[in-house]
Amino acid sequence: MRATSRLRQLLKSGNTLFVPGCYNALSARILADVGFPAVYMTGYGTSLSLLGMPDAGLATMTEMHLNARYIANAVPVPVIADADNGYGNAINVMRTVREYIGTGVAGIHIEDQVIPKRCGHVAGRRVIPIDEAVGKYRAADAAPTRAAPAAARSTRRFAAPTRISRRAPISPSSRDRRTSRKCAACVAR
């Protein structure tokens, strides 16, 4: 079964999924070998392991998708990969989706942060306007997939809203805005 089909099956199961983060092929193999049903390629871990630097947008799309390829080829379970903020505007997001499809990952998440981005673990994160975020999610869904049509049909379903990161402090008003952004992203699909 393709990784994309397996991820879709896991998501439809209704069970809570525990998807731990990995930062390279070896850490992914260990997580798969101990029985996790899927793994997540963490941007912070990737940046630290490749560059020795925090996740502040310093790792390029090329470095991130190369690491995703190594991880996806090393494990029999679906891989969800960090695609940062899509590496630019809506047009860049379309390319990002095509590139990640080629790596063999089962899904990606795209953050709605401004450029330059900050890691979700640090203070000072800012998000783009909701209309721009929705435009990026629509672009991800509409990305041409001629490079890998069979995988793309499955992967595109998870490209934008698999994980939508607001990356802002939680307060009653920001919680309402976050919910509004998630609803808008789902409508964009």
Domain of residue 51, CATH code:
3.20.20.60
119 is catalytic: yes
In this structure, what token pair is assigned to residue 141? Answer: 């869904």
- In this prediction, residue 174 carries a pLDDT of 53
Domain extent for 109? 3-188
Q: Report how many domains make up the chain.
A: 1
- Compute the distance between CA of residue 116 and CA of residue 138 in angstroms, rounded to an integer: 22
CB-CB neighbours of 137 under 10 Å: 24
**Residue of 22, 119, 183, 186 marked active site:** 119
Q: Which residues pair with 112 in a beta bridge?
A: none
Kindly tell me if the per-residue pLDDT of 154 is higher than 90.
no
Kindly tell me if the per-residue pLDDT of 167 is higher than 70.
no
Residues 71/104, Cβ–Cβ less than 8 Å? no
pLDDT in tens, 2-35: 999 999 999 999 999 999 999 999 999 999 999 9
Mean pLDDT of 43-50: 94
pTM of the complete model: 0.79
Q: What is the DSSP string of 114-168?
A: -SS---TTSS---B--HHHHHHHHHHHHH---TTSHHHHHHHHHHHTTTS----S
Mean pLDDT of 125-134: 89
- In this prediction, residue 122 carries a pLDDT of 72
Identity of the residue numbered 78: P
- In this prediction, residue 115 carries a pLDDT of 81
- Compute the distance between CA of residue 101 and CA of residue 99 in angstroms, rounded to an integer: 5
At how many degrees (to 10) do helices 3-12 and 149-159 cross? 30
Mean pLDDT of 48-72: 93
Residues 159/143, Cβ–Cβ less than 8 Å? yes
What lies within 8 Å, CB to CB, of 186 at 6+ separation is 161
